[in-house]
Amino acid sequence: MKTRLTEFFGIDHPIVSAPMALISGGRLAAAVSSSGGLGLIGGGYGDSAWLQREFGQADKARVGCGFITWSLARAPELLEETLERQPAAIMLSFGDAQPFAERVSAAGIPLIAQAQTLDHARQALDAGAEIVVAQGGEAGGHGMTVRSTFTLVPDVVDLVAERAPETLVLAAGGVADGRGLAAALMLGADGVVVGTRFWAASEALVSPRAHQRALGASGDSTYRTRVYDYVRQLDWPPEYNVRALSNPFVDRWHGNEAELLASLPEAVNTYQTALAAEDFEAAAILVGESIGLIHAVRPAADIVVEMAAEADRILKR
């Protein structure tokens, strides 16, 4: 299956694993890359020791790395440390990529910039991103509720074709199987960024208890909320929220944020205790609507190969 993405990176399948913070470690990224996709390590909120360990776990596989842009601005040295490793790509999400774009370009590393709106896509093009990821609100983890994947992707494709036709576009949000990959390609994307399906890979840094709980859920069991940002005491910009799996803790506070903030120390303690105990009646499971399409934890290599094969059959049919 050849697309501009496979040609750009010299890979076999137009599949990129999302750099999920503290979930997408070196083993997962390496497994995706080794099976013909492109794996990204989730640099997340920035931890030099964690990044060093996970790049080591990648065992010299050709992998990239993703960062939360507003957090990276507080520790820009992490970008320098990562660029020294000559990653396959740098992906920046949830903020303006411009302050880092020149340094990434000077290192000869492709820049991938995530967009939740057309304005975000324009900013990515202005920053010189070689690849723009159009992420719809179906996605797990952080994002926005303003656009859905099915309409955002062709909007971004058209914008990019007009302004910078050499720039690639990837679709993200709700892609968990070959049907999603085929649909993304038909919408004009050059490939996909996949999160939740790889969250349920055996190499992901996920508790088996979280896997067990999530695999019985459907997309109806997820929603976007700010509760987990408050109790994890993460200073996310107000325009972003996080898609999480419903549980008694988040259900208790979602829609009652004023009460939550008034009781925050107690709620933080409850959350941290649950996290330490791997109690997912309260601890966060950050997955997207596509969780209902996932029924088993599988090796990442199997996921890549099967997704590509299914998409190829659909497109040929």
The domain that holds 13 is classified in CATH as 3.20.20.70
In this structure, the answer to whether residues 94 and 236 fall within a common structural domain is no
CA–CA distance, 242 with 256 (Å, rounded to integer): 16
In this structure, the answer to whether residues 308 and 280 fall within a common structural domain is no
In this structure, the answer to whether residues 53 and 104 fall within a common structural domain is yes
In this structure, the answer to whether residues 151 and 269 fall within a common structural domain is no
In this structure, the answer to whether residues 155 and 282 fall within a common structural domain is no
What pLDDT shows up at residue 210? 97
CA–CA distance, 134 with 174 (Å, rounded to integer): 12
What pLDDT shows up at residue 190? 98
What pLDDT shows up at residue 44? 85
Strand-by-strand arrangement of the 131-135 sheet: 15-17, 191-194, 168-172, 131-135, 111-115, 90-93, 64-68, 40-44
In this structure, the answer to whether residues 105 and 36 fall within a common structural domain is yes
In this structure, the answer to whether residues 178 and 220 fall within a common structural domain is no
pLDDT in tens, 163-181: 999 999 999 999 999 999 9
Cβ neighbours around 74 below 10 Å, total: 11
| Weakly modelled stretches of the chain, pLDDT under 50 | none
Angle (CA) 113 42 78, round 5°: 80
Handedness of CA 217, 222, 153, 240 (dihedral sign): negative
In this structure, the answer to whether residues 263 and 304 fall within a common structural domain is no
CA–CA distance, 73 with 240 (Å, rounded to integer): 17
In this structure, the answer to whether residues 247 and 283 fall within a common structural domain is yes
Cβ neighbours around 197 below 10 Å, total: 27
Question: Into how many domains does the chain fold?
Answer: 2
What pLDDT shows up at residue 1? 83
CA–CA distance, 153 with 158 (Å, rounded to integer): 9
In this structure, the answer to whether residues 91 and 154 fall within a common structural domain is yes
Domain containing 122 equals 4-205+294-316
pTM: 0.95
In this structure, the answer to whether residues 29 and 72 fall within a common structural domain is yes
What pLDDT shows up at residue 68? 96
What pLDDT shows up at residue 240? 95
CA–CA distance, 175 with 54 (Å, rounded to integer): 25
What pLDDT shows up at residue 216? 87
In this structure, the answer to whether residues 105 and 77 fall within a common structural domain is yes
